[in-house]
Structure 1
Amino acid sequence: MIIRDGGPDDVPAVLQMFDSAVAWLTAQGRTGQWGSVPFSTDPVRVERVTSWAADGGMRIAEIDGEPAGCLVVGPAMTYVSPAPEPELYVQVLVIDQRFHGHGVGSVLLERAVAEAVGQGVSLVRVDCYAGDDGRLVKYYESQGFTRAETFMVGEWPGQVLQMRLPAGTA
């Protein structure tokens, strides 16, 4: 698996990743996170992915030359409380479901931690959907994140998680 910087040419592949994730979640009856409509058919979501690709924080994981996952790092989302110190914020983590179980998410999160260390930052935060059975929150906890704060965007329940890097790494 390689990780490379993403850009505008990756927009179709990232939309496909989201579409595969939405289909997978919908098949499980779990539409609370992203609904049941493919991202590629929603102009607002297409524009969001396009802006991520242009902002310089997109990272693409590839397996055998195929885009397998996407990480976007950048400023904290406007709906969460600001961090009291410099941070690296994971805005997006999505995996093409063809590569489910290959550790793509873990490798991308390791990349985020490495970038934080490289920037001299000792706090990494991410937010995620906290509804249904809480599996997504548990996933981030399994990756070393701890719960920091809950929030709501309309009826959408969210959880901010954080990882403090050990002293001496930042």
Structure 2
Amino acid sequence: MNSEAITIRRGGPADLPAVLAILDSAVVWLNGRGITAQWGTDPFTTRPATVELVERVVTEGSPWIAEVDGVPAGTLTLTPHPGTYVPPAAEPERYVRFLATDGRFHGLGVGAALLAHAAEETRHEGVSLLRVDCFAGSEGRLVAYYERQGFTRTDPFTVGEWPGQVLEMRV
């Protein structure tokens, strides 16, 4: 399959089960590669507070679902602000939350397609700043991924012992 097989549609609250299934699959995929510190080892759906957070972000933000042959393969939600652990920008922004690819579709460019769509949506809304944060552990592989997608590192942060990195893109 190639990126032409990926379609992106606006999601909504009815997509919450699909979003959670994608996040659960991403945890399994990460754990299968020995990456347990990013999103832990327990599925999102077994953590009530996390399910509530995902539901709130999806409901308040603009969720997007990437599909491959009609099957939900990835997701992200755009919000006008980051989570509570990152200070908001000093200008209007769009913030990528809960970007994930279902493990079955990893390597097809689903995440890249969603990020390109997020940049286009941000530009379309008349906002010039797109930001995201990510896990900075595991030799910084996820930070490097976002840099390959056109983001630039800004502020590192730590939540407990979880190392994070904020990145931004001008669109």
TM superposition score category, shorter chain reference? over 0.9
The letter for the 2-side match of 1:37 is D
Please list every run of at least 4 consecutive aligned residues from structure 1 whose deviation after the TM superposition is greater than 3 angstroms. none
Instruction: Provide the residue aligned with 1:168 in structure 2.
Output: none
Q: 1:60 aligns with which of 56, 65, 87?
A: 65
Instruction: Provide the residue aligned with 1:9 in structure 2.
Output: 14
Size of the aligned set, in residue pairs, is 165
Task: State the TM-score, normalized to the length of structure 1.
Answer: 0.92
What stretches of structure 1 of length at least 5 have no aligned partner?
A: 166-170
Shift of 1:8: 2.1
Q: Deviations over 1:51-76 (max 9, x none)?
A: 23322411111111100100111022
The letter for the 2-side match of 1:55 is E
For the residue of structure 1 that corresponds to 2:139, the secondary structure is: coil
For the residue of structure 2 that corresponds to 1:150, the secondary structure is: strand
Instruction: Provide the residue aligned with 2:94 in structure 1.
Output: 88
Superposition pairs for residues 11-50 of structure 1, below 5 Å?
11-50=16-55
The letter for the 1-side match of 2:164 is G
- Aligned residues: CA RMSD: 1.2
For the residue of structure 2 that corresponds to 1:79, the secondary structure is: coil
What stretches of structure 2 of length at least 5 have no aligned partner?
A: 1-5
Superposition pairs for residues 1-170 of structure 1, below 5 Å?
1-74=6-79, 75-165=81-171
The letter for the 2-side match of 1:11 is L
Identity %: 58
Task: State the TM-score, normalized to the length of structure 2.
Answer: 0.92
| Stretch deviating more after TM superposition (62-71 or 83-92) | 83-92
Q: Deviations over 1:84-127 (max 9, x none)?
A: 21111112211101111111111111111111111111111100
